[in-house]
């Protein structure tokens, strides 16, 4: 049995390129960490770490175990903590090296001309084409797809954003070394790697206390901004180029999040965190839109003296307040200036701050919804296409449209989550304060379901603005009102699912619908409808076994099909 402290970098696949790159990356990063420890803490400290790692890397035997026991027995508390930090850092760097090697393998595979790309959207579309599917059929297939990876909150996460930033930069620098570089550039990258690893070594690895909801949101968006959003942009760019010719692209990939909306067991989550999460997300995506529009503005200095444009573009250009006489014959630029100014106005409205590159606030109306922004971009696409200029901007403009259709002004749809027990207590107080003579908590399941279905059959509110409610009920109603306001500000796409923890019965599904009706996110009556998807979470074995029966009851109701 191998010692648990050892780092096994061998591979059953032998000396394949990926395995070799893993070992090379791990060796370089390990050497740099040893160099940083020696530089910052002295040669004796580095020797202690090297001795422990060398002993731990050997096959377990009585002799090696005795050597480790002897080494550890002689350590002071400070030395033990120091060694634990060093071993943790070595493991973390080994993981980075392995990740970089894996990405290198994928990049090199993608660079091979003519190679098939199994298990990709492009491969799936090519298979459908070979099977005889038409462009219209492919468009319907793409439109029916809906993939939503969801970021979940982890209040026990103890890694600091400072460490995540260090890891990201180390990974980026290591990726640069996959190319054959001149000696001076390679040495420069090695020195920058040393600096990042030395900074990491001097940075506290973990948080001593539980992070706040604000920290969760900020940390997650840091990763979204640097890793996830660029990946989504690249995917839509690839799909537009490789799949778009066979069928119209749809916003089939979107992002979701629980950050700021997961109230189950988290007293720090409320209406304010919901607003904070969406405003923070809006700032990220609006800045990206603004940056892309600014790039297009810089490139599309197309003069009407050399190329015609559509009347729709001229109409957009006429609305701008750009005073420069040098751009009077550049309607694309003037139209993009208007789009930029309206995006800035959206950012001011939703986040209270300007978008990147904005130095002043133009007197324009903000876009009322993302579709209006997309519509203006399509005016430019249509004009370029009609007049032979679409290739002037490559696929960047179409990618911008597709990302805007997927992300709106909210970037990620926010799921709301609460425990079914909280809904029961909230409704019990609402019915008692309404003087309806109903003791909700004392009703059996059949009586609860009938009452709730009846409540959803009309538009009369159960909540009165003239009644004072308890702390828990007040918080629940305020959170739902905040959600309703977010829908008014960002559009229906900003909210994803309403997740009901500890779901067990039909009434557990109906309860949040009645509560959401009080804030206008659910409408009752003859044609009931809801702005939020309901997602019961069956958690115990018994509830999971009973789940199909509960879902059949729910799907038999008209409201479930809206």
Nearest to 401 by CA among 422, 380, 415: 380
User: Residue 190: which of 318, 355, 394, 27 has the closest Cα?
Assistant: 27
Q: In what order do the strands lie in the sheet with 412-419?
A: 150-151, 255-257, 412-419, 495-501, 533-536
Structure-token match 């995917």, residue found: 235
C-alpha pair distances (Å), 132 with each of 118, 127, 135, 140, 249: 19, 9, 10, 14, 19
Angle at 418 between CA 414 and CA 423, to 5 degrees: 130
pLDDT of residue 119: 67
CB atoms near residue 231 (< 10 Å): 11
Contact 562/522 with Cβ under 8 angstroms? no
How far apart, in whole angstroms, are the C-alpha atoms of residue 128 and residue 116? Answer: 15
Q: How confident is the prediction for the chain on average, in pLDDT?
A: 87
User: Which has more confidence, 515 or 136?
Assistant: 515
425 pLDDT band, cuts 50/70/90, is very high
pLDDT for 123 = 82
Among residues 562, 551, 477, which one has the least CA distance to residue 514? 477
Q: How many residues appear in the chain?
A: 562
Confidence of residue 391 (pLDDT cuts 50, 70, 90): confident
120-129, 313-322, 537-546: range with highest mean pLDDT: 537-546
Alpha-carbon span 243 to 344, nearest angstrom = 32
Over the stretch 281-339, which tens digit does the pLDDT of each residue have? 999 999 999 999 999 999 999 888 898 999 999 999 999 876 676 678 899 999 999 99
Express each pLDDT in 51-110 by its tens digit: 888 777 665 555 666 667 777 787 888 888 999 999 999 999 999 998 888 776 655 555
DSSP state of 206: B
Q: Calculate mean pLDDT across residues 10-35.
A: 75
If you ran DSSP here, which 8-state letter would residue 392 be given? G
For residue 26, pLDDT over 60 is answered with yes
d(CA 30, CA 35): 9
Domains of the chain: 1-113+163-206 (no CATH), 116-158+210-258 (no CATH), 271-410 (1.20.1440.90), 413-561 (no CATH)
Closest CA to 462 of 446, 447, 451, 472: 451
pTM of the model: 0.83
Residues 6+ apart with CB under 8 A from 199: 166
Residue 541 corresponds to which tokens in the numbers above?
Answer: 């074995």
Per-residue model confidence (pLDDT) at position 72: 77
pLDDT band at 18 (very low <50, low <70, confident <90, very high): low
Q: What are the tokens at 159?
A: 């890694």
549 CB neighbour count, 10 Å cutoff = 11
Backbone angles phi, psi at 354, to 5 degrees: -80, 160
């Amino acid at each position: 049995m191998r010692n648990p402290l050892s780092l096994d970098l061998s591979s059953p696949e032998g000396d394949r390129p990926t395995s070799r790159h893993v070992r090379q990356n791990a060796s370089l990063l390990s050497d740099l960490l040893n160099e940083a420890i020696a530089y910052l803490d002295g040669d004796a400290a580095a020797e202690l770490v090297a001795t422990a790692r060398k002993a731990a890397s050997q096959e377990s035997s009585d002799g090696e175990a005795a050597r480790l026991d002897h080494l550890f027995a002689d350590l002071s508390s400070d030395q033990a903590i120091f060694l634990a930090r060093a071993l943790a850092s070595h493991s973390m760097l080994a993981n980075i090296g392995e990740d970089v090697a894996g990405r290198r393998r994928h990049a090199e595979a993608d660079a091979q001309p003519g190679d098939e790309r199994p298990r990709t959207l492009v491969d799936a579309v090519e298979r459908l084409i070979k099977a005889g599917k038409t462009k219209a059929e492919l468009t319907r297939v793409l439109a029916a797809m809906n993939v939503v990876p969801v970021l979940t909150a982890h209040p026990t996460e103890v890694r600091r954003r400072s460490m995540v930033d260090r890891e990201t930069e180390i990974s980026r620098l290591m990726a640069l070394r996959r190319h054959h570089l001149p000696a001076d550039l390679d040495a420069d990258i090695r020195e920058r790697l040393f600096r990042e690893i030395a900074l990491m070594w001097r940075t506290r690895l973990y948080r001593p206390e539980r992070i706040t909801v604000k920290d969760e949101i900020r940390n997650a968006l840091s990763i979204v901004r640097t890793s996830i959003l660029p990946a989504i942009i690249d995917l839509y760019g690839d799909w537009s180029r490789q799949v778009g010719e066979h069928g119209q692209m749809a916003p089939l990939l979107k992002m979701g999040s629980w950050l700021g909306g997961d109230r189950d067991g988290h007293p720090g989550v409320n209406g304010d965190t919901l607003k904070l999460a969406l405003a923070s997300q809006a700032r990220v995506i609006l800045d990206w839109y603004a940056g892309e529009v600014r790039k297009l503005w810089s490139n599309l200095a197309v003069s009407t003296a050399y190329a015609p444009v559509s009347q729709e573009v001229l109409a957009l250009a006429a609305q701008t307040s750009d005073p420069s006489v040098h751009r009077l014959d550049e309607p694309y630029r003037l139209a993009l200036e208007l789009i930029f100014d309206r995006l800035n106005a959206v950012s001011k409205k939703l986040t209270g701050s300007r978008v990147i590159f904005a130095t002043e606030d133009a007197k324009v109306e903000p876009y009322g919804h993302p579709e209006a922004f997309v519509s203006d971009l399509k005016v430019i696409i249509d004009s370029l296409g009609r007049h032979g200029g679409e290739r002037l901007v490559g696929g960047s403009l179409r990618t911008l449209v597709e990302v805007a259709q997927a992300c709106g002004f909210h970037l990620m749809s926010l799921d709301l989550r609460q425990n079914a027990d909280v809904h029961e207590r909230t409704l019990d107080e609402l019915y008692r304060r309404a003087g309806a003579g109903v003791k909700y908590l004392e009703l059996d399941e059949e009586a609860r379901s009938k009452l709730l279905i009846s409540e959803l059959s009309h538009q009369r509110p159960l909540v009165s603005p003239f009644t004072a409610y308890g702390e828990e009920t007040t918080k629940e109603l305020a959170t739902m009102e905040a959600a309703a306001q977010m829908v008014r500000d960002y559009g229906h796409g900003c909210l994803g699912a309403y997740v009901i923890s500890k779901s067990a019965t039909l009434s557990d599904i109906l309860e949040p619908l009645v509560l959401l009706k009080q804030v206008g996110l659910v409408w009752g009556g003859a044609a009931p409808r809801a702005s939020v998807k309901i997602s019961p979470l069956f958690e115990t074995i018994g509830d999971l076994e009973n789940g199909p029966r509960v879902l059949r009851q729910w799907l038999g109701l008209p409201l479930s099909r809206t």
